[in-house]
């Protein structure tokens, strides 16, 4: 079997025997000259190929424009030729071939030069502006240049093919490229679970316990159960609810029964199928239903159950679930839809009960302004408007006050008053404590406390001895030391009475 050495034909190899030396020139210099000659020829070929490609690209732009100009001049006559020349002179387009040459011309300048040469040829043939055959001569000249450009374009393309073929005859360092690469790509880490995830009892590991024999087992069990209940209550109070991540929030807005969209979304966002995601969606549905967003709440329930089903179907549960849902399985789809309806109905009922409990709690507790003693009165310094531009402080007691600080305080009082609801503003203007308490009683406890705090901070609330308390017995003090001073006075009075009784007994 003959050996095929054709794969070595493109290698340019040489040794000392290939170079015919001169007795007066050393061989190393001849080898260096030969190498330099090879590299120079390669570089010149690269430059020539780049120039050919640039010329071909430029002609590809000019040729259709020149054909259009020739057809327009042939149809409309010399006037069209003159208007085009005038436009190219006065308002040329900045479009030009891509080149680093400092004196490169735009396409319009090239066309203008060509059209002027056509006009000069026509004048040399004896044509002038009054010649009736001027338009015909101009169109003939333009079409002649169109044919010449086509021939030149074909010549450039053939020359480019020849130069590229010569360039590929030999394998050079420029042809070296990376064929393939083998490297280890580590897998992406698993997404983190949802923050504040509620741990499930099924996922907890079994723990081994050691039992000790005691003299009073009933007492020990009772103490353990009580401590466990206290711990559970503390955990329930301190634990926070899981919140939606940005991916889960986008997932919750997908349409109902849009299984294909949900499937594509899960494939692009791995952090959707994580522990706690279904619980976060249920929490969001409860809040949405409480805010009156029934449609969004239903979607959250739908997506939450979707994730629960995927989790319960095992390791490949996501693929199994969506394969059945997308195929519209006549057994799986009705079960899932019924589960969604039942869960949403249960959620609606829980929201109704929660609102009723909140309303009952709000009715039983309210904030009221009550004087500490029968002789104390509560009044309100209601501002008539913002402070005037020319604020003047009169009186000897106002000498130590800064006008700008007083202006800021008055402006703050007016801003606080303007921030209240109209019914609260009317009650304050009436200077009637009962009217103000009625408005506070219709508010939630948190809102009423905030209103009282703003009244005290802005100086609208005015009382003599200091002290505000609500109907639940909780005192809100403007001066925290007032109550301690009263207690000290009572203790002193009691001590004086005891001393008088001892003296009478003696």
Instruction: Give the tens place of pLDDT for each residue, 451-497.
Output: 888 888 888 887 655 444 444 433 333 344 444 445 555 666 666 66
In angstroms, the CA 234 to CA 237 distance is 5
What average pLDDT does this structure show over 130-148?
Answer: 83
**CA 462/CA 487 separation, integer angstroms:** 23
Distance (Å, rounded) from C-alpha 314 to C-alpha 310? 7
Helix 107-124, helix 27-76: angle, nearest 10: 70
Name the nearest CA neighbour of 62 among 90, 89, 93, 86. Answer: 93
pLDDT band for position 1 (50/70/90)?
A: low
Find out whether 97 and 104 touch, Cβ atoms under 8 Å.
yes
Q: Is the pLDDT of residue 19 over 70?
A: no
Residue 130: per-residue pLDDT: 73
Q: Please write the tens of the pLDDT for every residue from 237-273.
A: 435 788 888 888 999 999 998 899 999 999 898 888 8
Radius of gyration of the chain measured on its C-alpha atoms: 48
Compute the distance between CA of residue 227 and CA of residue 235 in angstroms, rounded to an integer: 12
Q: How far is CA 367 from CA 57, 222, 443, 445, 473, in A?
A: 84, 41, 8, 6, 10
Ordered DSSP codes for 105-134: PPHHHHHHHHHHHHHHHHHHTT--TT-TTH
Structure tokens at 14: 């040489």
Least confident window among 52-66, 125-139, 356-370: 356-370
Q: Which two tokens stand for residue 240?
A: 């926070």
Question: Is 504 buried (19+), middle (13-18) or exposed (0-12) by CB count in 10 A?
Answer: exposed
Orientation of helix 332-364 relative to helix 317-326, angle to 10°: 110
Q: What is the pLDDT of residue 502?
A: 57
Q: What is the mean pLDDT of residues 108-137?
A: 81
pLDDT at 16 over 80: no
Distance CA 506, CA 500 (A): 10
pLDDT for the residue numbered 363: 59
More confident residue, 17 or 485: 17
With b for 16 or more beta-carbon neighbours within 10 A and e for fewer, the 406-442 pattern comes to: eeeebeebbebbeebeeebeebbeeeebebbbebbee
Identify the pLDDT of residue 342.
93
The predicted pLDDT at position 205 comes to 45
Of 62, 45, 43, 47, nearest in space to 152 by CA: 62
> For residue range 22-38, what is the model confidence (pLDDT) as tens digits?
777 777 887 788 888 88
What average pLDDT does range 190-219 have in this prediction? 60
**Residues facing 25 on adjacent strands:** 22
Q: What is the per-residue pLDDT for 297?
A: 92
Which of 99, 118, 117 shows the shortest CA–CA distance to 53?
A: 99
Which residues 6+ apart lie within 8 Å of 469 measured at CB?
368, 370, 372, 475, 476
Place of tokens 């780049």: 50
**Contact (CB, 8 A) for 321 and 306:** yes
Percent of the chain whose pLDDT exceeds 90: 15
Tell me the backbone φ, ψ of residue 469, rounded to 5 degrees: -140, 155
Q: Greater confidence, 85 or 213?
A: 85
Gap between the terminal Cα atoms of the chain: 145
Instruction: Write the Ramachandran bin of 314: left for phi over 0, alpha for psi from -120 to 50, otherwise beta.
Output: left
Structural element, H or E, at residue 337 = helix 332-364
What percent of the chain shows pLDDT beyond 70? 76
CB-CB neighbours of 191 under 10 Å: 16
Range 361-372 average pLDDT: 71
pLDDT at residue number 135: 80
Which of 350, 361, 364, 362 lies closest to 290, judged by CA?
Answer: 350
> Please, which pLDDT band fits residue 89 given cuts at 50, 70 and 90?
confident
Model confidence at 352: pLDDT above 80: yes
| 156 touches 52 (CB < 8 A) | yes
402 or 430, which is more confident?
430
pLDDT of residue 476: 36
Which one-letter DSSP state was computed for residue 499?
Answer: H
Q: What is the DSSP letter of 461?
A: E
**Interstrand relation of 461-463 and 468-469 (parallel, antiparallel or unpaired):** unpaired
pLDDT confidence band for 234 (50 / 70 / 90): very low
| Rounded Cα–Cα distance for residues 454 and 279 (Å) | 38
Q: Are 437 and 429 in contact (CB under 8 A)?
A: no
252 and 300 Cβ atoms separated by less than 8 Å: yes
pLDDT of residue 348: 92
d(CA 123, CA 139): 14
Kindly state the tokens that stand for 413.
């009082």
Digit-coded pLDDT (tens) for 264-316: 999 898 888 888 888 999 999 999 999 999 999 999 999 999 999 998 988 88
Task: Determine the Cα–Cα distance for residues 39 and 43; give it in Å rounded to an integer.
Answer: 6
In this structure, the chain runs to a length of 506
Residue (of 358, 377, 381) closest to 465 by Cα position: 377
> In the prediction, which pLDDT does 344 show?
92
Decide if 416 contacts 458 (C-beta within 8 A).
yes
Question: What is the reported pLDDT for 193?
Answer: 79
Q: At a CB cut-off of 8 Å and minimum separation 6, what does 221 contact?
A: none
């Amino acid at each position: 079997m003959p050996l095929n050495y054709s794969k070595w034909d493109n290698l340019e190899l040489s040794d000392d025997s290939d170079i015919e030396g001169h007795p007066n020139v050393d061989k190393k210099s001849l080898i260096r000259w030969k190498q330099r000659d090879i590299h120079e020829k390669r570089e010149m070929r690269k430059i020539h190929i780049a120039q050919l490609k640039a010329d071909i690209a430029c002609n590809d732009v000019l040729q259709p424009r020149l054909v259009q100009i020739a057809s327009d001049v042939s149809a409309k006559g010399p006037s069209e030729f003159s208007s085009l020349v005038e436009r190219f002179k006065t308002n040329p387009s900045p479009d030009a071939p891509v080149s680093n040459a400092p004196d490169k011309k735009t396409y319009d300048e090239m066309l203008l030069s060509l059209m002027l040469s056509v006009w000069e040829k026509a004048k040399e043939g004896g044509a002038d502006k009054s010649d009736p055959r001027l338009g015909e001569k101009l169109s003939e000249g333009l079409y002649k240049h169109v044919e010449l450009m086509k021939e030149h374009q074909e010549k450039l393309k053939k020359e480019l093919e020849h130069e590229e073929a010569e360039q590929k005859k030999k394998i050079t360092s420029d042809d070296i490229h990376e064929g393939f690469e083998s490297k280890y790509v580590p897998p992406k880490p698993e997404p983190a679970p949802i923050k504040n995830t509620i741990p499930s009892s099924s996922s907890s590991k079994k723990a081994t316990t050691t039992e000790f024999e005691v003299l009073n087992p009933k007492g020990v069990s009772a103490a353990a159960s009580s401590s466990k209940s206290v711990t559970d209550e503390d955990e329930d109070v301190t634990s926070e609810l899981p919140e939606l991540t940005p991916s889960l929030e986008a997932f919750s807005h997908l349409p109902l029964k849009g299984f294909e969209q949900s499937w594509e979304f899960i494939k692009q966002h791995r952090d959707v199928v994580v522990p706690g995601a279904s619980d976060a969606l249920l929490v969001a549905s409860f809040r949405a239903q409480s805010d009156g967003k029934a449609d969004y709440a239903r979607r959250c329930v739908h997506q939450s159950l979707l994730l629960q089903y995927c989790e319960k179907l095992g390791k490949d549960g996501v693929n199994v679930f969506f394969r059945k849902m997308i195929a519209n399985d006549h057994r799986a789809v009705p079960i899932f839809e019924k589960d969604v309806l039942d869960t949403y109905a249960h959620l609606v009922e829980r929201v109704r009960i929660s609102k009723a409990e909140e309303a009952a709690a709000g009715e039983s507790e309210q904030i009221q302004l009550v004087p500490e003693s029968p002789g104390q009165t509560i009044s309100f310094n209601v501002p008539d408007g913002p402070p005037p531009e020319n604020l003047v402080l009169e009186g000897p007691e106002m000498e130590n006050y800064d006008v700008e600080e007083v202006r800021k305080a008055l402006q703050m009082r007016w801003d606080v008053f303007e921030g209240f609801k109209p019914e609260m503003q009317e009650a304050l203007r009436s200077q009637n404590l009962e009217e103000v308490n009625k408005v506070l009683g219709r508010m939630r406890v948190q809102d009423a406390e905030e209103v009282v705090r703003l009244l005290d901070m802005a100086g609208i609330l005015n009382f003599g001895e200091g002290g505000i308390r609500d109907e639940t017995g909780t005192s809100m003090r403007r001066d925290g030391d007032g109550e301690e001073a009263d207690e000290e006075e009572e203790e002193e009075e009691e001590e004086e009475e005891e001393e008088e009784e001892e003296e009478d007994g003696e």
